[in-house]
Amino acid sequence: MRISSNPKILLIDDSVADLRVLTEFLSARGLDIVVAFDGKDGYRKAQLLRPDLILLDVHMPGSDGFATCRLLKANPDTSAIPVIFLTAANQPQERLTGLTLGAVDYIAKPLIDEAEVVARVQIHLELARRLRAAAPAAPSAEVDTRPEAVLVKVATEHLRRDLRQPPSPEVLARLCGTNETRLNEAFHKIVGMPIYAWLREERLTQAQGLLGRTETPIADIGDHLGYTNAASFSKAVRERFGCSPRELRSRLRDEAGQRAPLQQGAADDAC
C-alpha cells in the first residue's frame, strides 16, 4: 500500500538500526524520509523542512524526545506538525507525558511492527490534511520564532505550571533541551532579565490578580506562589507595589468599584 502525494517524514532517533528499518519500509511506500540523530538536529530540520509528520524517539542523549517536542510545539512554525513518539518503555505515565506535550500517538520499540507503523502514519497524515483543509485562514500576525523566543516560551510555560515549587535552573534548562547559560542568555535577550527575576515578577503579577479577583486568604496566596512565609510575601508585595498585601487588595477593589459605574454608564449609552 503506497501513501499518496509523497509526504515528508522526519525521523529523529539516535539508533542507526531503528532508523534503517523505518527508512526502508516507509520510503518503499512513497514517503520522502529525512533523518536526524538527535533532538537538536531534529528540531533544526523541522524548522527548515516543515515535514508533514515527525517520528520522534523518547530516549536520546542530550535533548531527549520530550524536550524536543516542547520546542516543536512552542514554535508557531512547527507546532501543527503531528508528532508520533517511538519508545521502548511500557509505562503509562511516560505515554501520558508525551500526549500531554502534544504528541498524537505512540509506537512501541524495539520490535517495530511494519504494518502498525504504516497504518498509524497514514492515519495521522490524513487527519492533519483534513485539519488543514478545515481550518479557517488565520489573520496575519507577527510571531517571534527566534530560537531564544521559543526557549523562553517553553521555559515560562514550565515555570507557570508550578510557581510554588519551580524546577531549578539546571532542571529547567534540561526540560527545554538546552543548558543554563543559553537559557539565561535567551531570557536576557527576549524579556530583558534573568530567569529568577522573571519568576519574581510573574509571582507578583499573579499575586496582584489573586488579591484583586478572589477572596483567597492572603497567607494561602503567598503559599501558592512559593513564598516561604507571610513575612516574605508581604515584603515582596510592599517592595513591588508600595503597600502591604491587605492594602493592595483594598486598593484594587476600590479601583474595580470605581470602574463599574463607568462601564454601566457606557453600556446604558449604547442602548
| Residues 198, 91: Cα–Cα separation, whole Å | 35
Entry field: residues in the chain: 271
What is the tens place of the pLDDT at every residue in 175-213?
Answer: 898 999 999 999 999 999 999 999 999 999 999 999 998
Asked whether the beta carbons of 102 and 128 are under 8 A apart, the reply is: no
Give the pLDDT confidence score for residue 136 in this predicted structure: 66
Q: Is 254 left (phi over 0), alpha (psi -120 to 50) or beta?
A: alpha
Between vectors from CA 145 to CA 142 and to CA 150, what angle results, nearest 5°? 130
DSSP sequence for 11-56? EE-S-HHHHHHHHHHHHTTT-EEEEESSHHHHHHHHHHH--SEEEE
pTM for this model (two decimals):
0.66
Residue 109: beta bridge partners?
A: none
What is the tens place of the pLDDT at every residue in 215-267?
Answer: 899 999 999 999 999 999 999 999 999 999 999 999 998 887 766 554 544 44
Task: Name the residue ranges covered by the structural domains of the chain.
Answer: 8-134, 143-188, 193-271
Give the pLDDT confidence score for residue 139 in this predicted structure: 54
- Would you say the CATH fold of 193-271 matches that of 8-134? no
- Residue 74 cell numbers, joined: 512552542
CATH number of 8-134: 3.40.50.2300
Stretch 20-42: mean pLDDT, rounded?
93
Q: Which CATH topology does 193-271 take?
A: Arc Repressor Mutant, subunit A (1.10.10)
- Residue 219 cell numbers, joined: 497567607
Give the pLDDT confidence score for residue 137 in this predicted structure: 56
